[in-house]
Amino acid sequence: MDGVVVDSEDYWVDVEADHIFPAVVESEVSPEETTGMNYREIYGYLDREYGTTVDEAEFVTTYDEAAEEIYGERVALMDGFRDLVADLRDEGTDVALVSSSPHHWIDVVLDRFDLSFDAVVSAEDIDAPGKPEPGIYEHAADVLGHPPAKCVAVEDSEHGAAAATSAGAYCVGYRHGAAELDLSAADAVVSNAEELREELFTRPGPSASR
pTM of this prediction? 0.88
Could you tell me if 167 and 114 lie in one domain?
A: yes
Is there a single domain that holds both residue 133 and residue 169? yes
Would 40 be classed as within a structural domain? yes
Are 111 and 163 in the same domain? yes
The DSSP 8-state label assigned to residue 78 in this structure reads P
42 and 27 within one domain: yes
- Residues 47, 85, single domain; the answer is no
Clarify whether residues 70 and 148 are in a common domain.
Answer: no
Same domain? For 121 and 43 the reply is: no
d(CA 206, CA 210): 8
Q: What is the pLDDT of residue 207?
A: 46
pLDDT digits (tens, 9 = 90+) for 18-38: 999 999 999 999 888 998 888
Give the pLDDT of residue 208: 42
Q: 62-71, 89-98, 173-182, 187-196: which has the minimum mean pLDDT? A: 173-182
- Is it the case that residue 203 has pLDDT exceeding 80? no
Give the mean model confidence (pLDDT) for residues 152-168.
Answer: 95
For residue 65, what are the CA distances in angstroms to 26, 78, 106?
21, 23, 14
> Rounded to an integer, what is the distance from CA 4 to the centroid of its chain?
7
Name residue 73's amino acid. Answer: E
* Confidence at 124, pLDDT banded by 50, 70, 90: very high
Indicate if the pLDDT at residue 210 is higher than 50: no
Helix (H) or strand (E) holding 171: strand 170-174
The CB-based long-range contact list for 118-126 (8 Å cut-off, 24+ gap) reads 118/94, 118/144, 119/94, 119/143, 119/144, 120/96, 121/96, 121/97, 123/38, 123/41, 123/99
142 lies in the same domain as 58: no
CA distance 35 to 208: 29
pLDDT at 37: 87
Q: In terms of domains, do 99 and 187 share one?
A: yes
Q: How many domains does the chain have?
A: 2
**Segment among 36-45, 79-88, 131-140 with least mean pLDDT:** 36-45
How would you class 24 by CB atoms within 10 Å of its CB: exposed for 0-12, middle for 13-18, buried for 19 or more?
Answer: buried
Average pLDDT over residues 130-157: 95
Q: Which of 30, 48, 74 is the last residue of a domain?
A: 74
Helices 158-167 and 135-144 pack at an angle, to 10 degrees, of 60
Domain that holds residue 120: 81-202
Residue 176 pLDDT level (bands cut at 50, 70, 90): confident
180: Cβ–Cβ under 8 A, 6 or more apart, which residues? none
What is the distance between the alpha carbons of residues 119 and 18, in angstroms, rounded to a whole number?
34
Residues 22 and 95 in one domain: no
Identify the pLDDT of residue 178.
52
Q: In this predicted structure, what is the pLDDT of residue 179?
A: 56
Among 90-104, 130-144, 164-178, which is the least confidently predicted range? 164-178
CATH of the domain at 152: 3.40.50.1000
Q: Are 124 and 198 in the same domain?
A: yes
Estimate to the nearest angstrom the gap between the alpha carbon of 157 and the chain centroid: 7
Contacts of 152 (CB under 8 A, 6+ apart): 169, 170, 171, 172, 200, 205, 206, 209, 210
- Residue 210 in any domain: the answer is no
Res 85 pLDDT > 50:
yes
Asked, for residue 139, whether it belongs to a domain, the answer is yes
- Residues 106 and 177 both lie in one domain: yes
**What is the tally of helices (H) and strands (E) in the chain?**
9, 5
